[in-house]
Structure 1
Amino acid sequence: MTSASLLHSPLAAGLFWSAATVALYCAARRVHRLRPSWWTSPLALAPILIVGLAVALHAGYGEYNQGTRWLLTMLGPVTVAFALPIFEQREMIRRHWPVLAVGVVAGSVIAMLTAWGLASLLGLSESVRLSLMPRSVSTPFAMTVSGDIGGVPDLTAVFVVLTGVFGAALGEILLHVLPLRTSLARGALFGMGAHGAGVAQARQVGGEEGAIASLVMILAGLCNVLAAPFIAFLIH
Structure 2
Amino acid sequence: MNFLTAVASLFGTIAIFYLCKMLYKKYQKEWLTPMLITPIVIILILLLTGTTYKSYNAGANILTNLLGPATVAFAVPIYKNFNLLKKHAFEIFLSIAVGSVVAITSSFMIALVVGLNDELVHSLVPRSVTTPIAMDISNMIGGSPTLTAVFVMTTGILGSLLAPFVIKVCRFHRPSSRGLMLGMGAHGAGTSKAFEFGELEGTFSSLAMIVAALISIVLSTTFFPAFEHLVVNILLP
Q: What is the TM-score normalised by the length of structure 1?
A: 0.86
Matched, 1:24 2:10: no
Partner in structure 2 of residue 130 of structure 1: 122
Partner in structure 2 of residue 141 of structure 1: 133
**Distance in 2 between the 1:81 and 1:204 partners?**
17
Q: 1:70 aligns with which of 62, 72, 87?
A: 62
Q: SS of 2:126's equivalent? A: coil
Q: Is the 8 A contact 1:41 1:197 kept in 2?
A: no
Q: Report deviation, 1:52.
A: 1.1
Aligned length: 228
**Distance in 1 between the 2:57 and 2:30 partners?**
26
- Say which is worse superposed, 46-55 or 85-94, in terms of deviation: 85-94
**Distance in 1 between the 2:133 and 2:33 partners?**
20
Matched, 1:171 2:163: yes
Q: What is the TM-score normalised by the length of structure 2?
A: 0.85
RMSD: 2.2
Partner in structure 1 of residue 149 of structure 2: 157
- Corresponding letter in the other structure for 2:122: L
- Corresponding letter in the other structure for 2:24: H
**Distance in 2 between the 1:87 and 1:206 partners?**
16
Q: Could you say if the C-alpha distance between residues 217 and 153 of structure 1 is closer, same or farther in structure 2, counting changes exceeding 3 Å?
A: same
Q: 2:105 aligns with which of 104, 113, 118?
A: 113
Q: 1:92 aligns with which of 57, 63, 84?
A: 84
Query: Which 4+ residue blocks in structure 1 deviate beyond 6 angstroms?
Result: none
Unaligned runs of 5+ in 1: 1-7
- Say which is worse superposed, 109-118 or 222-231, in terms of deviation: 222-231
Unaligned runs of 5+ in 2: 230-237
Instruction: Give deviations 1:65-99, integer Å, cap 9, x for gaps.
Output: 33322322233333443443433332122111111
Q: Report deviation, 1:43.
A: 1.4
**Distance in 1 between the 2:106 and 2:98 partners?**
12
Q: Could you say if the C-alpha distance between residues 142 and 36 of structure 1 is closer, same or farther in structure 2, counting changes exceeding 3 Å?
A: farther
Q: Identity over the aligned pairs, expressed in percent? A: 34
